A and B are shown apart, each in its own frame.
Chain A
Amino acid sequence: KAGVTQTPRYLIKTRGQQVTLSCSPISGHRSVSWYQQTPGQGLQFLFEYFSETQRNKGNFPGRFSGRQFSNSRSEMNVSTLELGDSALYLCASHWTSGKNEQFFGPGTRLTVL
């Protein structure tokens, strides 16, 4: 059974640019959650999607957005990049209810210069 895949694995951008990250969940999982991981703040919840709808959003500025497609694949976008956006962005795949352990992908390492 294939795991969660994230592309690209590494990105280098400059301030002011925008970036789109992609996540493909485990087959059969219809929910995807995104997290930002930094050395100072640890893992912080960004948003959760189910059936193409955002169910919950973390405390991040509007520059961070996401969407989910009918095949459950998800993308997140960060516009007007800032230096502080440098982080590991992790996608987690899970069932929507019940014993919904979240399974993480390898992450996308974003560096903003």
Chain B
Amino acid sequence: EDQVTQSPEALRLQEGESSSLNCSYTVSGLRGLFWYRQDPGKGPEFLFTLYSAGEEKEKERLKATLTKKESFLHITAPKPEDSATYLCAVRGGGATNKLIFGTGTLLAVQP
């Protein structure tokens, strides 16, 4: 069964303190791993898609990487506005666009 596990559940950082969020997955025939950011009371905001092991994507202070078993979201010198829940999702094989989500990492960046 396709599954996504995110760790840690919650992370508190000081402004400027870099760290990484982990997303482990098991899926038959990965057809994309997606990272989203979600602010309270809002829908998830798309950040990145990764398709194959070794692929990396960057956007401002965020960098996503992918291996055959996990993905990391690296946050460099975070700012308070980076505080949010970060969600990881995978799309598996077959004729479906269904996304399977992890439960997310709640990130709090303190000034």
Contact = CB atoms under 8 A, between A and B. Distances in A.
Is this pair of chains taken from one and the same complex? yes
A45 B44 CA distance: 14
Interface in B42-71: 42-46, 49, 51
Given A42-B103, A42-B104, A99-B49, A56 B98 contact: yes
Given A43-B87, A101-B34, A48 B44 contact: no
20 contacts: A31-B97, A33-B97, A42-B104, A43-B44, A43-B87, A43-B101, A45-B99, A55-B97, A56-B97, A90-B44, A94-B97, A99-B51, A101-B34, A101-B46, A101-B49, A102-B46, A102-B99, A104-B44, A106-B42, A107-B43
Nearest to A105: B43
A55 B96 contact: yes
Contacts of B44: 43, 90, 104
A96 interface: yes
Interface of B: 32, 34, 36, 41-46, 49, 51, 87, 89, 95-104
A16 to B, nearest CB: 27
Contacts of A107: 42-43
Main secondary structure of the interface of A (DSSP, over half): strand
Contacts of B42: 106-107
A33 B89 CA distance: 14
B98 A33 contact: yes
Contacts of A44: 101
A104 B45 contact: yes
Count chain B CB atoms within 10 A of each CB in A42, A45, A100 and give the residue with the most: A42
